[in-house]
Chains A and B, each alone.
Chain A
Amino acid sequence: MPTITIDPITRIEGHSRVSIHLDKSGMVQDAQLHVTQFRGFEKLCQGRPFYEMPALMARICGICPVSHLIASAKACDALLAVRIPETAERLRRIMHLAQIIQSHALSFFYLCSPDFLLGMDSDPAHRNLFGVAAHSPQLARDGVQLRKFGQEIIRILGGKRIHPAWIVPGGVSNPLKAEDRDAILKMVPEALEIAQRTLTWFKRQLENFREEIRVFANFPSHFLALAKDDGGLAFYKGWIRIVDADGEIVNNFEARDYQEYIGEAVEPNSYLKSPFYKPLGYPQGMYRVGPLARLNMARHCGTPLADQELAEFRELERRFVLSSFYYHYARLIEILFSIERIEWLLNSEGILSDHVRAYAGPNEYEGVGVAEAPRGTLIHHYKINPNGLIQTANLIIATSHNNLAMNRGLTQVAKHFIKGRVVPEGALNRVEAVIRAFDPCLSCSTHADGRMMLNVQVFSSDGELINEVNR
């Protein structure tokens, strides 16, 4: 069978390749994402003391260490069987939202805005942040400033930008100082202005991407996210909720019961798991997570500016928003919400309290922690022995929930844009861009030596390499 391989995919976090399989007539039959590096963190933590887990698990990712800190610390809270102080929970939420902002800003401004600003068919040599800076310096500066805003909050709270050890089992290690609160509050107005300016700009661009909106993983699917009882946008805690493409609640369960409802399939051609909704089976149990799922599920955000934007977002497709191109839009709304919410939390009563940690020994042998990471629902599950040493750990990383949807989206976009063995540059970029819309973080596997090349290979039906492009 003729095959087109894109290896590796560029402008995503991590290393992967895409293979596109053609039928005998040269039309696209199937497409798959392959994650090509192995980490093995679940094995690595066996035998370690459970209280080391948050700091150790944060090392999984250089982009979203805080998400892992939160999910891991919540799993450890469950092992301690404690209720953490209210102030500690609010402080954790602030750092978590700062993480959402900086990660979403990286995705939108650094990785994806070149396509929005310069076009999907523009010269790949300029289709990057430098091209954005040359064409629209304000947009590039906004991206830098917004990401810096999120990182600076993490640094102020945790002492450093990456891998702060401030979130611990039972709460946080240090209270917030008044001068640090004031320093963060001082940065809020500029961040809000940037978020609103970017939303206004992006909404004007949508008209230019009607074809991409139509075929970028645009299909009915289930969605999974944390959900509050009142239907508010949830990032830190709530039910794990599954809804169908019409918005009907299919299931609602507690994090500790996730294994009853979420299965984890493994394919031989990728190190990325393929979670699925068990009652529907594999792979029919495909669902999507992340900003699109969260906003589809939320009845309201709970902050004034984000609620206005959510109302407009709802009108995009009348009911649930099904095109994955709108992940970008949802990301911007979540940035706006996060800034507003951080301001609210910093001004809340008791935020400077010294009581920020609950102390206990292990009281349970099993604990599950869940949080909404930038890319979707993140689950950490630990089992310990009576001495508090980890016996087994199971992690469901947010990106993996989207694995089945990304593969289906790849096939959809490849069928639409690739006709035969000659693949135009713009079509290649769109194959990558549908993956970028999900903002997959394989980052855990970033930082390999060498250039991140794009390699496309076209094989004849008898397996002969007939064309190859590198850039």
Chain B
Amino acid sequence: MADVLVIGYGNPLRGDDGVGPVIAEEIAKKICDPQSKVQVVACHQLNPELAEAVADTREVIFVDASVELKPGDVRISSVKPDQFSPAGFTHSMKPSALLATASELFGQAPPAKAVAIGAASFDIGMTLTPEVRAAVRLATEVIEKEIARCLRSNA
């Protein structure tokens, strides 16, 4: 079982929406030990296929762009498994729904945090806006601290 699973998600072709995968890749670069207890996934969307990996970890950290925060702001908050919203589901899920899926199908939903990065633009393009690009470092530090806390508590 992994100690921490970091999932950065979003569409890299839609401007700041790609910040989740960008940060996931930053984290992966820093944790290049294949024996690491930290797993990193960069993907477009959350889908049910991630449920088994989520159930098989001690803590999960979701990383995504946010339309609710000011561009460049970073916020970390807890996420709980939640009732599924049937109208919104085809093949993508919210973190709360993925946690609930993990619990329902594989018997457990670990404690989870969501790191949100305020986005400025979702226009077509593969580059982040300057304010979101600047926030990548801050978000990465926040995630590293959270990983360190989790590893200490499981030591």
**9 A-B pairs with least C-beta separation:** A130-B84, A128-B86, A133-B104, A148-B49, A451-B87, A144-B48, A141-B105, A451-B88, A147-B49
The docked-state distance in angstroms from the alpha carbon of A452 to that of B89 is 8
B87-A453 in contact (CB<8A): yes
The docked-state distance in angstroms from the alpha carbon of A137 to that of B34 is 33
**A59 interface residue (CB < 8 Å to B):** yes
Residues of chain B in range 73-129 having any CB-CB distance to chain A below 8 Å: 84-92, 100-101, 104-106
A446-B105 in contact (CB<8A): no
- Apart from A110-B48, A452-B90, what 20 extra A-B contacts exist at CB < 8 Å? A62-B91, A110-B90, A110-B91, A125-B86, A128-B84, A128-B89, A129-B48, A129-B89, A130-B86, A133-B105, A137-B104, A140-B105, A141-B106, A144-B52, A147-B49, A148-B52, A162-B43, A453-B87, A454-B87, A471-B87
How far does the Cβ of A117 sit from chain B's closest Cβ, in whole Å?
14
Which of B43, B92, B100, B106 contacts A130, CB < 8 Å?
Answer: B100
**A12 interface residue (CB < 8 Å to B):** yes
B91 contacts which chain A residues (CB < 8 A)? 13, 62-63, 106, 110
B52 contacts which chain A residues (CB < 8 A)? 144-145, 148
B100 contacts which chain A residues (CB < 8 A)? 130
What mask results when residues 301 to 343 of chain A are scored 1 for a CB within 8 Å of chain B, else 0?
Answer: 0000000000000000000000000000000000000000000
**A10 interface residue (CB < 8 Å to B):** yes
Count chain B residues whose beta carbon lies closer than 8 angstroms to a beta carbon of A.
23
Q: With A124-B86, A451-B87, A452-B87 known to touch, is A130 a contact of B104 (CB < 8 Å)?
A: yes
A127-B105 in contact (CB<8A): no
A452 contacts which chain B residues (CB < 8 A)? 87-88, 90
What mask results when residues 128 to 155 of chain B are scored 1 for a CB within 8 Å of chain A, else 0?
Answer: 0000000000000000000000000000
**B44 interface residue (CB < 8 Å to A):** yes
B49-A451 in contact (CB<8A): no
The docked-state distance in angstroms from the alpha carbon of A321 to that of B73 is 58
**B11 interface residue (CB < 8 Å to A):** yes
The docked-state distance in angstroms from the alpha carbon of A59 to that of B85 is 27
B86 contacts which chain A residues (CB < 8 A)? 124-128, 130
B101-A130 in contact (CB<8A): yes
The docked-state distance in angstroms from the alpha carbon of A61 to that of B92 is 14
Q: With A62-B44, A110-B48, A130-B84 known to touch, is A137 a contact of B13 (CB < 8 Å)?
A: no
Residues of chain A in range 278-306 having any CB-CB distance to chain B below 8 Å: none
B44-A144 in contact (CB<8A): no
| Chain B, residue nearest A147 (CB) | B49
How far does the Cβ of B52 sit from chain A's closest Cβ, in whole Å?
7
Residues of A whose CB lies within 8 Å of any CB of B are 10-13, 59, 62-63, 106, 110-111, 124-130, 133-134, 137, 140-141, 143-145, 147-148, 151, 161-162, 446-447, 451-454, 471
How far does the Cβ of A10 sit from chain B's closest Cβ, in whole Å?
7
How far does the Cβ of A16 sit from chain B's closest Cβ, in whole Å?
12
| Chain A, residue nearest B92 (CB) | A447
**B60 interface residue (CB < 8 Å to A):** no
**B4 interface residue (CB < 8 Å to A):** no
The docked-state distance in angstroms from the alpha carbon of A211 to that of B40 is 48
The docked-state distance in angstroms from the alpha carbon of A95 to that of B71 is 40
A126 contacts which chain B residues (CB < 8 A)? 86
| Chain A, residue nearest B87 (CB) | A451
Residues of chain B in range 16-44 having any CB-CB distance to chain A below 8 Å: 43-44
| 28 A-B residue pairs with CB within 8 Å | A10-B87, A11-B89, A12-B90, A62-B44, A63-B91, A110-B91, A125-B86, A127-B86, A128-B86, A129-B101, A130-B100, A130-B104, A133-B105, A140-B104, A140-B105, A141-B105, A141-B106, A144-B48, A144-B51, A144-B105, A145-B52, A147-B48, A147-B49, A446-B90, A451-B85, A452-B87, A452-B90, A453-B87
How far does the Cβ of B121 sit from chain A's closest Cβ, in whole Å?
14
B90-A111 in contact (CB<8A): yes
The docked-state distance in angstroms from the alpha carbon of A141 to that of B49 is 9
B49-A151 in contact (CB<8A): yes
The docked-state distance in angstroms from the alpha carbon of A148 to that of B100 is 18
The docked-state distance in angstroms from the alpha carbon of A129 to that of B85 is 11
| Chain B, residue nearest A125 (CB) | B86
How far does the Cβ of A173 sit from chain B's closest Cβ, in whole Å?
20
A133-B44 in contact (CB<8A): no
| Chain A, residue nearest B12 (CB) | A163
